[in-house]
Amino acid sequence: MNRRRCVKAAYAMRRHRPGCLLLACAVICATVAAANESNHKYRVGEEVRLWVNKVGPYNNPQETYNYYYLPFCQPSGRGEKPAHKWGGLGEVLQGNELIDSQLDLKFRTEVPKRKICTVKLDEGTAAVFRKAVKKHYWYELFIDDLPVWGFVGPPPEEAKDDKQIYIYAHKSFDINYNEHRIIEVNLTSEDFKPIVPGAEIEFTYSVRWAPTATPFARRFERYLDYKFFGHQIHWFSIFNSSMILIFLTGLVAMILMRTLRADYARYTARDEDDLEALERDVGEESGWKLVHGDVFRPPRRLELLSALLGTGVQLALLALSLILITIAGTLFTERGTIVTVFIVSYALTSFVAGYVSGGFYARNDGKNWIGTMLATATLFPMACFGIAAALNTIAIAYHSLAAVPFGSIVVVLLIWMFISFPLCLLGTVVGRNYNGVPDNPCRVKRIPSPIPTKQWYLRPPVIALTGGLLPFGSIFIETYFIFTSFWNYKVYYVYGFMLLVFLILIVVTSCVTIVGTYFLLNAENYHWQWTSFASAASTALYVFIYAVQYFFMKTNMTGFFQTCFYFGYTLMLCLGLAILCGAIGYLASAAFVRRIYRSIKCD
Ligand SMILES: *[C@@H]1O[C@H](CO)[C@@H](O)[C@H](O)[C@H]1NC(C)=O
Ligand SMILES: *[C@H]1O[C@H](CO)[C@@H](O)[C@H](O)[C@H]1NC(C)=O
């Protein structure tokens, strides 16, 4: 019973000093009595813990409550406070709280039908259970880190009166083991009883063990929906995106060839007499060459653009490294790990944000570099933090498990303050010094030229809005898969696809923005910086519109709580995507502009 005492101590410490919990678990539990759950090996007759996690309406994945929010049997038989399992920061942020059910469960020991407790229903508890069954509440349990799910009661038919609403009273566990490891757990709910006030419901459980040959390494495979993710449409989407990609790269190559033709002609004409003819040729051309004295004019709202560029490059790097880490580590099998990795990687990549934004700002002769650095470090985190704070307030008001405890908020803030922020500052200083020398091929004229009015489709807002269509077209099927796994309890595991789609997105975004910039410059409009940013960022606008459509057509979410969470999370995603794509688009356009103006004589 060493371990139980240790966990109890850890739990007591957690209540008083949350910070000590990690230490307590790591030090005490690891040395005094290594929890066998951590190495997943059990001896015959050794205790296996059944952890209860959360309950909630099946259609609303974020609306979850503590398991004991429903008047189930409380673990009180042993006269101790039930242990809580600490699964790391990510697990808490994802709204999990694992509590020891204290059910008697021993490795390879059969349990015939055994009573857990008897609940005598009164008006109140009957109403709670009834509401739970009507709203299709399901619950989640964990055995040896394997999740099992069950419904509170059989789904009631429409238009039945309250007497015909039932609750499952018996839980039957079927567990497969391979030598000393648990491989597979099934939960079957049986024995439904009517929910009527005054009734006494005896909750029972039983456990059956059976050997299996499935190796331990493959035990998570049954949670992966191969049929769904391996569907033909998934391959078709890759094919479709590749077609867009080939078309666009061809288009960009054509534009480059056209614009650089004069350049090559000049090289070949250098020693010959037709230089004069060439000069005439060049002089006749209108379009992008006429704005060479304005095209490198620093953009309006330079601070904001610098901050967005820095953040966007950081997010792109972050997304790439997250996908690679997840592919390498198959992190999707562990609760909360991806969230933890995300937070730590975000903090570490802040250096890049500072470097890019500081360098860009210095190259454009900005003077307020401290303000820019502050904007870079705070813009995206604060936006997300604001949305998260609003959602958290709602979750607290609903007493939901999705509410993040105060301690975890403080930890996230500390990570930002002591890792992310200093790295961003350092990045800015380094970027200003090593990446801050302007290298524009053309000088900027003192007086800005007027911009001629052109056809409606060459105006920046139109270019910005149409720019997002093709990138969205290349990712939207993958978006469907990601949304469906996030909102419909599917484990997303095809990160190879995601990597491919991400790379395609980057190339398509770059190409589309280059084409847009080319049209804009040809219309003698030199405000290409924000236009290129916006035309790439509008991809996120289409993703958001798609998300709205998805909400109404593909999900059955109901209620204020879930609606807020759906749109809050979607907003955060689209915000990040907009900044990421915008930065990529801008950088591609900047490289393009620099390249084509280097080929002409500007004076
Ligand atoms: C669990 O259920 C699945 C599907 O019904 C079945 O194939 C599997 O053998 C069951 N496993 C156990 C441990 O009973
Ligand atoms: C299970 O494993 C340890 C190590 O084997 C064993 O000594 C102990 O008996 C059981 N507990 C734990 C914790 O490991």
Residue nearest atom 1 of ligand 2, based on CA coordinates: 36
Q: Are residues 346 and 208 in the same domain?
A: no
Distance 111 CA to ligand 2 centre (A): 23
Residue nearest atom 5 of ligand 2, based on CA coordinates: 36
Categorize the per-residue pLDDT at 214 as very low, low, confident or very high, splitting at 50, 70 and 90.
Answer: very high
Tens of pLDDT, residue by residue over 460-489, are: 999 999 999 999 999 989 999 999 999 988
Residue nearest atom 14 of ligand 2, based on CA coordinates: 36
Of 324, 336, 277, nearest in space to 502 by CA: 324
Indicate whether 369 belongs to any domain. yes
Indicate whether 196 belongs to any domain. yes
The set of residues, in sequence order, having a beta carbon less than 8 Å from that of 46 and lying 6+ positions away, is: 36, 106, 107
Cβ proximity of 3 and 35 under 8 Å: yes
Q: Are residues 401 and 472 in the same domain?
A: yes
Ligand nearest the Cα of residue 37 is 2
Q: Are residues 237 and 215 in the same domain?
A: no
Range(s) of the domain holding residue 71: 50-222
CA distance 435 to 361: 10
Atom of ligand 2 nearest to the CA of 34: 13
Ligand 1 binding site (Cβ under 6 Å of any ligand atom):
174-176, 184, 186
Q: Which of 187, 205, 222 is at the close of a domain?
A: 222
Cβ proximity of 229 and 494 under 8 Å: yes
Cβ proximity of 95 and 400 under 8 Å: yes
Residue nearest atom 10 of ligand 1, based on CA coordinates: 186
Q: Are residues 238 and 192 in the same domain?
A: no
Q: Are residues 429 and 415 in the same domain?
A: yes
Domain count, the chain: 2
Q: Are residues 232 and 146 in the same domain?
A: no
Q: Which of 205, 222, 239 is at the close of a domain?
A: 222
Atom of ligand 1 nearest to the CA of 183: 13
pTM of the model: 0.86
Query: How many helical (H) and strand (E) elements, i.e. helices and strands, does the chain have?
Result: 20, 10
Q: Are residues 192 and 240 in the same domain?
A: no
HEC letters along 559-589: HHHHHHHHHHHHHHHHHHHHHHHHHHHHHHH
Indicate whether 445 belongs to any domain. no
Distance 35 CA to ligand 2 centre (A): 7
Q: Tell which one of 29, 31, 36 to mutate to probe ligand 2, the residue whose CB is within 8 A of the most ligand atoms.
A: 36
Indicate whether 513 belongs to any domain. yes
Tens of pLDDT, residue by residue over 342-398, are: 999 999 999 999 999 999 999 998 889 999 999 999 999 999 999 999 999 999 999
Indicate whether 38 belongs to any domain. no
Indicate whether 482 belongs to any domain. yes
Please say if the pLDDT value at position 124 is more than 80.
Answer: yes
Residue nearest atom 10 of ligand 2, based on CA coordinates: 36
Distance 174 CA to ligand 1 centre (A): 8
The pLDDT score that the predictor gives to residue 91 is 84
Average pLDDT over residues 57-64: 91
Q: Which tokens sit at 223?
A: 């949670």
Q: Are residues 551 and 566 in the same domain?
A: yes
Q: Which of 165, 188, 222 is at the close of a domain?
A: 222
Top mean-pLDDT range of 271-280, 282-291, 445-454, 547-556 = 547-556
Please say if the pLDDT value at position 94 is more than 60.
Answer: yes
Atom of ligand 1 nearest to the CA of 210: 13
The set of residues, in sequence order, having a beta carbon less than 8 Å from that of 156 and lying 6+ positions away, is: 133, 134, 164, 165, 166
Q: Where do runs of H (alpha helix) occur along 142-271?
A: 226-229, 232-269
HEC letters along 25-41: HHHHHHHHCCCHHHHCC
Which long-range contacts does 197-200 make (Cβ < 8 Å, 24+ apart)?
Answer: 197/121, 197/122, 197/123, 197/126, 198/120, 198/121, 198/122, 199/120, 199/121, 199/126, 200/118, 200/119, 200/120, 200/121
Indicate whether 271 belongs to any domain. no
Q: Are residues 242 and 147 in the same domain?
A: no
Tens of pLDDT, residue by residue over 177-194, are: 998 899 999 999 988 888
- The one-letter code for the residue type at 122 is D
Distance 106 CA to ligand 2 centre (A): 14
Q: Are residues 358 and 470 in the same domain?
A: yes
CA distance 528 to 303: 16
Q: Are residues 232 and 142 in the same domain?
A: no
Q: Are residues 190 and 237 in the same domain?
A: no
Indicate whether 586 belongs to any domain. yes
Q: Tell which one of 186, 206, 218 to mutate to probe ligand 1, the residue whose CB is within 8 A of the most ligand atoms.
A: 186
